Amino acid sequence: MKKKLLILSIIIITGQLLTSPTAQAQQPNEDVIKHLQIVAADSNVYSPYTNEDTLLNNVASIIKVVLGLLGTIFVILMIYAGILWMTAGGNDTQVKKAQNIIQRAVIGLIIVVLAYAITYFIFKELGGLGPA
């Protein structure tokens, strides 16, 4: 039964891939390219390796990733403590250990939320954007 379901799924997915519309690239407007080349030739600050990301945007992205990882760690700790508590079976030391993990995880979450609020405020005041 599982083999038939797998084959049917493969057939459906293949059919969807074959019948989906494809995107076609547009030809660049030659006037726009000429104007860009003129601006690039006249400007001393142009570099082909320049992008629009600023240091502030990069730092905000790093902070967002770190805070997201800390939130994930909080969820994992809460699940671990919950499983530990549920499987204690009347063992008081295991229950106390689970309670300590939950208390410390909540304190850590409060610290992370406060750190997010502080960085959001700072980035909003500095550059008009936040880490979120």
- 112 is in which domain, residue-wise? 53-127
21 within a domain of the structure (yes/no): no
| 128 pLDDT above the threshold of 60 | no
| Residue 43 covered by a domain | no
* 41 is a domain residue: no
Per-residue confidence at 106, pLDDT binned at 50, 70, 90?
A: very high
45: in domain: no
Q: Is residue 20 part of a domain?
A: no
Within-domain flag for 105: yes
Q: Is the pLDDT at 4 greater than 70, yes or no? A: no
Does any domain span residue 89? yes
Q: Is the pLDDT of residue 35 over 80?
A: no
Q: Do residues 62 and 111 touch, judged by C-beta distance below 8 A?
A: no
Neighbour count for residue 119 (Cβ, 10 Å)? 19
Output phi, psi for 122, to 5 deg. Answer: -65, -45
Query: Which pLDDT belongs to residue 101?
Result: 94
Of residues 89 and 2, which shows the higher confidence score?
A: 89
- Give the confidence band of 78 by pLDDT, cuts at 50, 70, 90: very high
For residue 65, being part of any structural domain is answered with yes
Binned at pLDDT 50, 70 and 90, residue 84 comes out as very high
Domain count, the chain: 1
